[in-house]
């Protein structure tokens, strides 16, 4: 049985574990899918490359408010698709080729499951073991086993997840997007912008239900203006009739309706892949949500076994996986005696996320109802884009930034919806992470006028907090 110093399962952030400190050890990498993992191949990177041209289409149509009118856009789907994957696919192929070229790395391109602690059986029956094991196996698109017709994906018949929807040969006349989370909202934005007659179905009364209520409502209202959005609507069954999907839905009044489309995108969440690995046979505890349980050093409950990313993280975000990979790489080097240092711990205090729809959304920290439920005292300020100078230039009457802080001036959370929300919110993530007082952030530096970042400055100045011991700066 081959025995390795390190066995890494997954080539997303797991691939970055092979740091200079660990090079030269006998390392095995297991990847049954496309090399590079979710983010590179079917997640963050290609989706945002599709979002950008979609944004341009929507912005062009919106420019009439500013006195500029364009003609109808022409969307060349094959050109957009091939430009994106013509860049991404060589990166995945190159990454795999590079790892195969390293004489201390063995790449197993097949499924593996645990048979006992630190021992796995490959699909061909071979068993391998490791002195240490890292589980970075990611997650997969969820299906709906309780809804007849939606129990399993079938891309050949037009029932897609985000894994396959971006490689369509042609744009369909009609599409149903089932779900109301970030994947559903981003893809609905893309395909609606590209001219597909789109219907989105969401069981809750708003989209993005985990956001601040005001953010969810703003995104929901914006979606209704662009395409057919069905909220408070439940899926009952689906069937393929010829070239068309017929999906029966039921609204909150109990009325049923059949929606038709050539293509369905099933975007109802993601499932951690620990079950596909039989993680429990490897000695790992798995929680009720299906996530491998880890401590703050990313150690699982099995000796010599770490986990990182979507397989153990409820955030299921690439920047979280990257952070955890850096922690694991360091701790592996410590455990294997390659460096003399103390173990590191992961910092999950202020984990941000963004939804690259239209409008864009970004947030971090607890929502107001969560703060209330936890009994935490806080003050809040909402600053509208339209009340700052750059907001006038944008003619923006919808974008806003909300900040929650302690009465003593420490940032607890923030949520933003509008132009470049994912960039606008970054100074607040920094301020929260480093424990800066809100007035020190607002007055301890210059803010370019009239830039969009002034929405942050004005929000901070609007918080009713006690002053710090001393505030200096411009």
Q: Is 103 exposed, middle or buried (0-12, 13-18, 19+ CB in 10 A)?
A: exposed
Q: Which residues pair with 266 in a beta bridge?
A: 178
- Other C-beta atoms within 10 Å of 384: how many? 17
Other C-beta atoms closer than 10 Å to the C-beta of 145 total 9
Q: Tokens in use for 8?
A: 């890494």
4 annotated active-site: no
The tokens for 90 are 């060589």
Of 210, 319, 404, 449, catalytic: 449
Give 220's contacts (C-beta < 8 A, 6+ positions apart).
206, 207, 208, 229, 231
- CA-closest candidate to residue 364, choices 312, 317, 295: 317
Report, as residue numbers or ranges, the catalytic residues.
449
């Amino acid at each position: 049985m081959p025995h390795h110093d390190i066995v890494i399962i997954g080539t997303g952030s797991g691939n970055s574990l092979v740091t200079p400190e660990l090079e030269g050890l006998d390392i095995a990498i297991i990847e049954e899918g496309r090399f590079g993992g979710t983010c590179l191949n079917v997640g963050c990177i290609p989706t945002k490359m599709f979002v950008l041209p979609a944004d341009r289409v929507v912005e062009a149509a919106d420019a009439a408010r500013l006195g500029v009118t364009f003609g109808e856009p022409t969307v060349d789907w094959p050109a957009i698709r091939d430009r994106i994957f013509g860049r991404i696919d060589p990166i995945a192929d190159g990454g795999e080729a590079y790892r195969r070229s390293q004489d201390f790395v063995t790449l197993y391109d097949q499924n593996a499951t645990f048979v006992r602690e630190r021992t796995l059986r490959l699909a061909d029956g071979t068993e391998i073991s490791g002195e240490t094991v890292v589980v970075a196996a990611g997650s997969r698109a969820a299906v709906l086993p309780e809804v007849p017709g939606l129990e399993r994906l079938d891309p050949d018949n037009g029932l897609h997840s985000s894994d396959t929807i971006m490689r369509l040969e042609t744009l369909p006349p009609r599409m149903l997007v089932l779900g109301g989370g970030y994947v559903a909202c981003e893809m609905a934005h893309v395909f609606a912008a590209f001219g597909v007659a789109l219907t989105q179905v969401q069981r809750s009364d708003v989209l993005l239900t985990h956001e601040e209520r005001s953010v969810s409502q703003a995104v929901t209202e914006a979606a209704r203006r662009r395409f057919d959005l069905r909220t408070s609507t439940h899926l009952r069954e689906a069937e393929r009739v010829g070239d068309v999907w017929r999906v029966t839905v039921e609204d909150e009044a109990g009325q049923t309706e059949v929606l038709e489309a050539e293509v369905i995108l099933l975007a109802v969440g993601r499932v951690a892949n620990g079950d596909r690995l039989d993680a429990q046979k490897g000695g790992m505890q798995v929680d009720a949500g299906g996530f491998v349980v880890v401590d703050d050093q990313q150690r699982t409950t099995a000796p010599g076994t770490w986990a990182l990313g979507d397989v153990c993280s409820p955030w299921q975000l690439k920047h979280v996986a990257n952070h955890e990979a850096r922690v694991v790489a360091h701790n592996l080097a410590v455990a294997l005696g390659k460096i003399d240092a103390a173990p590191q711990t992961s910092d999950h205090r202020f984990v941000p996320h963004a939804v690259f729809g239209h409008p864009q959304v970004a947030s971090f920290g607890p929502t107001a109802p969560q703060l209330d439920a936890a009994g935490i005292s806080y003050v809040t300020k909402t600053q509208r884009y339209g009340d700052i100078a750059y907001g006038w230039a944008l003619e923006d009457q919808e974008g806003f930034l909300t900040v929650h802080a302690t009465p003593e001036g420490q940032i607890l959370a923030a949520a933003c919806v509008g132009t470049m929300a994912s960039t606008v919110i970054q100074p607040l993530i920094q301020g929260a992470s480093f424990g800066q007082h809100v007035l020190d952030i607002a007055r301890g530096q210059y803010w370019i006028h009239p830039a969009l970042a002034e929405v942050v400055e004005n929000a901070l100045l609007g918080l009713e907090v006690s002053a710090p011991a001393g505030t200096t700066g411009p």
